[in-house]
């Protein structure tokens, strides 16, 4: 091989290595924090009239031994609430689904062992609950793929179940 071909190959290899290193630098690797969380779900009322509004309360507590960073409690972002018919099929959610930007470090909350954060969901009209019995469940969840650079707890925690009777 002549010197020009060797030089061209060397330039291409160096360029490809530089691109590879830059893509690695841009990827955000979030360190996962270990911890044990518990989500407790309560309701303002367990018996309501058809069409009646009622509040749903969530309490997320750190039941582990380590302090963890978690996402703030925010409906459709860090938690979901679901109603189920007696046959365990989900009652459709009729309110709009939000569109949001990537989360940043400002969305993190530090939760020490024994501490908790709470959230109240006030729009029970997001489900058309006709007369009958329903099971209410919530889920707290976090994931990767955000613009968060600090370590945080990643996973899912399901709440207790509550029976709501609509008269």
Q: What is the CATH number for 37?
A: 2.60.40.2970
Query: Domain range holding 136?
Result: 31-166
Residue 63, in any domain of the structure: yes
Full-prediction pTM beyond 0.85?
no
The size of the chain, in residues, is 167
Please, which pLDDT band fits residue 10 given cuts at 50, 70 and 90?
A: low
Sign of CA dihedral 50, 129, 124, 43: positive
Mean pLDDT of 70-75: 96
Q: Output the CA–CA distances (angstroms, integers) from residue 146 to 77, 102, 118, 152, 160, in the order listed.
A: 12, 5, 23, 11, 28
Averaged confidence pLDDT in the chain? 89
Q: Phi then psi for 89, rounded to 5 degrees?
A: -80, 145
Which tokens is 160 given?
Answer: 């207790």
Residue 10, in any domain of the structure: no
User: So what's the pLDDT on residue 23?
Assistant: 44
CA 87 vs. chain centroid, Å, equals 26
The domain total for the chain is 1
Residue 3, in any domain of the structure: no
């Amino acid at each position: 091989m002549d010197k020009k071909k060797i030089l061209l190959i060397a330039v291409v290899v160096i360029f490809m290595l530089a691109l590879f290193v830059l893509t690695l630098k841009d990827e955000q690797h979030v360190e996962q924090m270990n911890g044990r969380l518990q989500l407790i779900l309560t309701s303002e009322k367990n018996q309501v009239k058809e069409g009646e509004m009622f509040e749903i309360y969530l309490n997320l507590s750190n039941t582990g031994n380590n302090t963890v960073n978690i996402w703030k409690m925010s409906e459709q972002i860090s938690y979901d609430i679901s109603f189920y018919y007696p046959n365990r099929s989900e009652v459709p959610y009729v309110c709009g689904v939000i569109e949001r930007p990537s989360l940043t470090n400002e969305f993190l909350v530090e939760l020490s062992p024994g501490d908790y954060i709470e959230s109240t969901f006030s729009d029970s009209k997001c489900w058309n609950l006709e007369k009958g019995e329903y099971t209410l469940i919530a889920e707290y969840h976090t994931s990767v793929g955000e613009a968060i650079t600090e370590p945080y707890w990643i996973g899912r925690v399901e709440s207790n179940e509550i029976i709501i009777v609509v008269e």
